Amino acid sequence: MIIELIQTFLLLALAPLVTGIIRSLKARMQGRKGPSVLQPYRDLLKLLYKSSIRSRDSSWVLSIAPYVCMAAVIAAALLVPVIYTGTFGLIGDLLLLIYLLAIVRFFTTLAALDAGSTFGGMGSSRELFISSIVEPTMLLSIFTVGLISSTTDLGGISMNMASTGLDLIEPSLLLAAAAFFIAILAENSRVPVDNPATHLELTMVHEAMVLEYSGKDLALMEYASMTKLLVFFTLMANIFFPWGIATSMDPIALAIGLLAYLVKISILTLAIAVVESSMAKMRLFRLPNLFTMAFILSLLAVIAYYILGVA
Amino acid sequence: MLFVSIILTSLAGALLAVLLNKRRAGMLIPYIAAALSSAMLIVMSAPVLLGHGDVILSLPTYIQRLGEFSLRVDSLSAFFLIVMAIVTMCVSIYSVGYLREYENKYNLGRMGFLFNIFILSLCMVFTAGNAILFLIMWEIMSVSSYFLVIYEWRRADSVSSGLMYLVMTHVGTAFIAAAFLLMWTQTGSFDFTSFAGIREMSELSGTMRSGIFILLLLGFGTKAGLVPLHIWLPRAHPAAPSNISALMSAVMVKTAAYMIIRCCFGFLGVTEVWWGLLVLLIACISALVGVVYALAETDIKRILAYSTVENMGIIFIGIGAAMVFQAFSNGDSTIPYLADIAALALVASLFHVMSHALFKSLLFMGAGAVISSSHTRNIEKMGGIGRRMRYTGAFFFVGALSISAIPPLNGFIGEWMLFQSLFLSQTIGDPMVNILIPAAVAALALAGAIAAACFVRLYGAVFLARPRSDHAENAEEASNSMLGSMMILASLCVLTGVLATFIVRIVDKVSASVLGTSIASKVVGGITLSTPDGGFSHISPLAVVIVFLLLLPLVYLLSNRLGGPQRIMREDTWDCGTPLGPRNQYTATGHSQPLIHSFGRYVGVKSEVSETKSSSPLIPARMKFHQEVEPVFERYLYRPIHRAAVELSNRIGWIQMGSIQAYLAYIFVTLLVLLVVFR
């Protein structure tokens, strides 16, 4: 119980740092010095002290959206194994986690329409487009993981996989992981799907939706999306590559788990930074090509499981 | 005894509606009668669900050959009856307020009469224990709903929509009648109890079984609105008054799911794997096609009607999966858990039947309230209504959350169980299954995501932002009876989700009565739902709520602790320097454009941008956007059939020459032929 809470706190505490590191790495790769990796913490704190401006046209949906989104993301964070395979799995499984994050999507896209701003509508429309086409990929990668470890319980998957050892490196797992990585890019508004650093109306998706927020509301929305990114990273790290995660409460195992987690998250952070620095954002209507590719990867993952599993 | 009083109450309600026509009481008493008989239905069905034995009512029969006309309430019937009764009760309460709008415009006596008859026929369809009695009741249900569809007969499209409904429903009935006749040739009786014997007839050929199955699927698929037999649904449901749309979408289409479950599992026995795969395939297509059409629409009721096509798809995905698993577990009992997984799929499907009935009737009622106060069905002319109709907006919001499968509402629970049952298909080593089931997972995921997009768009366009017309600006809150009934349904949407563990126990009894496998002991543990394979996958809807109830105040308190209490200023929306009017916001059509751009072309959505040139080559003087939905199924499937039928009639038209002698000769020749053939 304590360990589970601690690892959730760890995740929540690390979330702005991960975003800070990505920004800093990107700055370095672009030949800039960039802000400190701690800048996101300062930004969030600064925003918390500011007052919020809400549109006269908006209703209660916009007012409650930041709180609901934050609560849903924290609930999702409670479910993922971070350094130890035990989680609050009693609440639910991987499917519930995906649907908890769907709450975030539902409220952000709806609240974006609330102020009657064209930017909000545009962001909402595009976000729903992107997340809808990426949803089958998401579910099929989960399906594959479910097939391999015959459960969709997050702790259970980690546990099964971590204890199976290296035998697990199967084509289907790698294919599913590749598909899931593209899904992460899409779900978290990263390049090449969206550019988190832009405010150009032609290209922005996520930023367009949060344009009407300010002060505390904005802080919560930003923090929620940072945490969401780390939740997805953690899923990737501990569901597809769970080696190193602690399977018991043994302090040494926990220390190894923490170390392994930090290493895996660093690799993913670097991967995102490299992708974002080396690729251009794609045109909106070219995105279906990318997602079709991801979908085919996930479908191949399932088929590979059956073909190789039966043989 | 209770059953007789239900029938008598409904009939009395119908009769009083006619007698009290054009009086004040005529707007109240028929609906009180309907609500009363619904309440009695719940009282009658609840004990059956809890296992206190079936309720049987024998009606007097005069023709022995047609079998015994009995009404029977067993677990399956009782489940559907309770779902129906909850909806009809709420709709009855709603109608009292809603129909005020129709006063002095349309005949309210007719409405009260048909309303009661329709509800009674629905109840009879769910309980009929004899094929002939069933067909009679089915016909009364179809005809009474037809008259309700054309209730607003002065409106241009209502009569033609009604006609299409009448034709399609009778085509369906013809297939059902054919299937029943084929079953009769096997058993020699029209009683459903004897039909159940078909399951054990080992000498019955597979072709015969499959033939009956196809006929049933065509017949009931028409009523369920499965693609491509759905074409009547998005026309008829919106044409009817909203209280009737709610009944049709929430209850009437479920009669098809009820009969498919009863006939396939109860009468025929699922022997062939491809039946299930066929149902699965059609259901996936229905879910996807339905939801894409819903996204392309701007008529609020048509959006909801297309979403019914989608949700029937989801329900039939569950039924199809259950059939696949059942067929495999009949063939090979060595594979573990197959019977359990079949049961899980059917439980998921039945759970979604209940969820859909609750949230779809809620949404149609909300739509009715919005339409009455904004005087339009076009969501492009609404907007900002949430500030004027606070409660309607809030209840509609619950419905939208529920249909978008947001945990822990009821829509989510059904989808969760459905996904889990599909995930567990891995024990089957059949290539077709191994490809189709992941495809079904993908289709379900895509349909679910687009449905959420569709309801974000609908809610946003109707209730949020600035009003797009004067009517929307001056919308008035619905009356208390409408709000009350919506409140009941909204709270049921939440409660059935949160307390799903109790509901699943009951639904499991129903599915066990059909499949013979009970999974409640494996699936329900305390407050959690798990998969029946002994795995660890589980959710606890109640825990989700508790987590949210803890986290929401926590987030609020913490964020207000850091940096002091929140100060809020009200300002205009960021307008880039130009004051914003009603047109400076995203339209519903614009909002769905990216998705329609990608998926619309597969179902015939066409859009066109035309420009009027001005002196500058870069800035057109006028731009016009036009989007239309080409009726693909009508054009490429129904029109050729129609044309062929007309052609054929023209060809053989010469035999109808108008001379009585010739007709008498035909009769004589036919008689001779019959005497020779059947001598």
Q: Quick check: B569 and A52 CB within 8 A?
A: yes
Rounded to a whole number of angstroms, the CA Rg of chain B reads 26
> Is there a domain that residue B608 lies in?
yes
Which are the contacts of B266, defined by CB distance < 8 A and separation ≥ 6? B76, B192, B195, B196, B199, B514
- For residue B133, what are the β-bridge partners? none
Mean pLDDT split into 10-residue runs, chain B, 679 residues: 92 92 86 95 93 86 83 94 96 94 88 95 94 95 95 89 94 96 91 89 85 96 93 92 95 96 92 92 95 94 96 96 90 73 94 97 96 92 91 97 94 94 84 89 95 96 92 90 96 95 93 89 84 79 94 94 89 84 88 91 87 85 87 88 93 84 91 88
Q: Is residue B644 part of a domain?
A: yes
Q: Which of B443, B452, B562 sits opposite A106 (nearest CB)?
A: B452
The Cα A166–Cα A242 span in angstroms is 10
Q: Which residue of A has its CA nearest to B401?
A: A106
Whether the pLDDT of residue A311 is over 50: the answer is no
Contact assignment for A92 to B595 by CB distance below 8 Å: no
The tokens describing B10, both together, are 């409904």
Would you call B585 helix, strand, or coil by DSSP?
coil
Alpha helices in B604-653 (DSSP H): 632-633, 639-651
> Which letter, b or e, does each residue of B333-364 get, where b requires 16 or more Cβ atoms within 10 Å of its Cβ?
eeeebbbbbbbbbbbbbbbbbbbbbbbbbbbb
Pick among A42, A57, A97, A199 to test the B interface (most B CBs inside 10 A): A57
Strand partners, B80: none
Which residues on adjacent β-strands are paired with residue B611?
A: B623
The pairing of strands B568-571 and A52-55 is parallel
Q: Does residue A35 come out as left (phi exceeding 0), alpha (psi in the -120 to 50 range) or beta?
A: beta
What's the angle, vertex CA B551, arms to CA B545 and CA B555, rounded to 5? 150
Smallest CA-to-CA distance from B90 within B403, B371, B359 is with B359
Q: What is the dihedral of CA B619, B624, B628, B630, to 10 degrees?
A: -70
Minimum distance, in Å, between the CA of residue B526 and any CA atom of chain A: 11
Count of structural domains, chain B: 1
Q: What pLDDT digit, counting tens, does each position of A107-123 carry?
A: 999 999 998 888 999 99
Cα–Cα dist B351/B356, whole Å: 9
The shortest CB-CB distance from A71 to any of B401, B465, B548 is to B548
CA distance B391 to chain A (A): 12
* Contact assessment for residue B304 and residue B237, using Cβ atoms and an 8 Å cutoff: yes
Judge contact between A97 and A105, C-beta under 8 A.
no
ipTM confidence score: 0.96
Please indicate whether, in this complex, the C-beta atoms of A140 and B528 are within 8 angstroms of each other: no
Q: Do A136 and B571 touch (CB under 8 A)?
A: no
State how far residue B575 is from chain A, nearest Cα, in angstroms: 7
Q: Please report which residue ranges of B332-430 form alpha helices under DSSP H.
A: 338-374, 385-388, 390-403, 410-423
Judge whether B629 lies within some domain.
yes
| CB-based contact A243:A164 (threshold 8 Å) | no
Cross-chain CB nearest to A114 (options B443, B465, B548): B465
Please write down the HEC assignment for all residues of B505-518. HHHHHHHHHHHCCC
pLDDT attached to residue B580: 85
Tell me if chain A has a CB within 8 Å of the CB of B540. Answer: yes
Contact between A47 and A23 under an 8 Å Cβ cutoff? The reply is no
| B596 in Cβ contact with B605 (< 8 Å) | yes
Question: Is B346 among the domain residues?
Answer: no
For residues A224 and A69, is the Cβ–Cβ distance under 8 A? Answer: yes
A to B CB pairs, distance under 8 Å:
268
Cβ-proximal residues to A198 (8 Å cutoff; 6+ apart), any chain: A204, A207, A281
Give the B window 365-394 contacts with A, CB below 8 Å. 383-384, 386-387, 393
End-to-end CA distance of chain B: 48
* Facing B535 at nearest CB: one of A119, A131, A150: A150
Torsion of CA B521, B526, B530, B534, to 10 degrees: -60
Closest CB to A67 among B461, B464, B556:
B556
Contact yes or no for B543 and A147 at CB 8 A: no
User: Minimal Cα–Cα distance from A138 to chain B, Å?
Assistant: 9
pLDDT of A12 higher than 90: yes
Tell me which DSSP letter residue B150 carries: T
**CA dihedral over B217, B221, B223, B229, signed as positive or negative:** negative
Q: Is residue B641 situated within a structural domain?
A: yes
Specify if B628 maps to a domain. yes
Residue among B556, B419, B391 nearest B483 (CA): B391
Instruction: Please indicate whether, in this complex, the C-beta atoms of B594 and A119 are within 8 angstroms of each other.
Output: no
How near does any CA of chain B get to the CA of A270, in Å?
30
DSSP state letter for B62:
S
Residues of A in contact with B422 (CB under 8 A): 143
| Predicted local confidence at residue B609, as pLDDT | 87
Give residue B334's pLDDT.
Answer: 66
Q: Could you give the CA distance from residue A114 to residue B383 in angstroms, rounded to a whole number?
A: 10
Contacts of A57 in chain B (CB under 8 A): 384, 465-466, 572-573
**In Å, how far are B497, B523, B626 from B614, measured between CA atoms?**
58, 68, 20
Q: Does B93 touch chain A (CB under 8 A)?
A: no
- Rounded to whole angstroms, the Cα distance separating B378 from B327 reads 46
Express the helix, strand and coil content of chain B in percent, nearest 5 each: 70, 5, 20
Closest partner residue to A71 (CB to CB) among B540, B551, B562 is B551
B411 — contact with chain A (CB < 8 Å)?
no
Token readout for B463 is: 């209730």
DSSP state of B299: B
The domain locations on chain A are 2-132+153-164+199-281
Any bridge partners for residue B629, and if so which? B605
Tell me how far apart the terminal alpha carbons of chain A are, to the nearest angstrom: 42
Question: 3-state SS string over chain A?
Answer: CHHHHHHHHHHHHHHHHHHHHHHHHHHHHCCCCCCCCCHHHHHHHHHHHCCEEEECCCCHHHHHHHHHHHHHHHHHHHHCCCCECCCCCCCCCHHHHHHHHHHHHHHHHHHHHHCCCHHHHHHHHHHHHHHHHHHHHHHHHHHHHHHHHCCCCHHHHHHHHHHHHHHHCCHHHHHHHHHHHHHHHHHCCCCCCCCCCCCCCCCCCHHHHCCCCCHHHHHHHHHHHHHHHHHHHHHHHHHHCCCCCECCCCHHHHHHHHHHHHHHHHHHHHHHHHHHHHCCCCCHHHHHHHHHHHHHHHHHHHHHHHHHHHC
Residues 455-494 on B with a CB inside 8 Å of A are 456-457, 459-461, 463-466
Q: What is the pLDDT of residues B23-46, one digit of tens each?
A: 888 889 999 999 999 999 999 999
Contacts of B446 in chain A (CB under 8 A): 132-133, 135-136
Instruction: Collect all residues of chain A within an 8 Å Cβ-Cβ radius of residue B434.
Output: 302-303, 306
- Nearest of B301, B320, B312, B399 to residue B353 by alpha carbon: B312
**Are A45 and B416 within 8 A, CB to CB?**
no
Residue B23 lies in a domain: no
In percent, the amount of chain A with pLDDT more than 70 equals 98
Closest CA to B224 of B260, B256, B180: B256
- B483 in helix, strand or coil? helix
Over residues A220-268, the pLDDT tens digits come to: 999 999 999 999 999 999 988 888 888 888 899 999 999 999 999 999 9
Contacts of B536 in chain A (CB under 8 A): 89, 93, 151, 153, 155-156
Degrees to nearest 5, angle at CA A117 with A115 and A120: 90
Whole domain around residue B637: which residue ranges?
Answer: 604-612+621-654
Beta-carbon separation of A153 and B573 below 8 A: no
Which among A91, A152, A220 has the least Cβ separation from residue B540?
A91
Exposure string of A266-291, with b = 16+ CB inside 10 Å and e = fewer, is eebbebbbeebeeeebbebeebbebb
Q: Scanning every residue of chain A, which has its alpha carbon at the shortest distance from the alpha carbon of B587?
A: A121
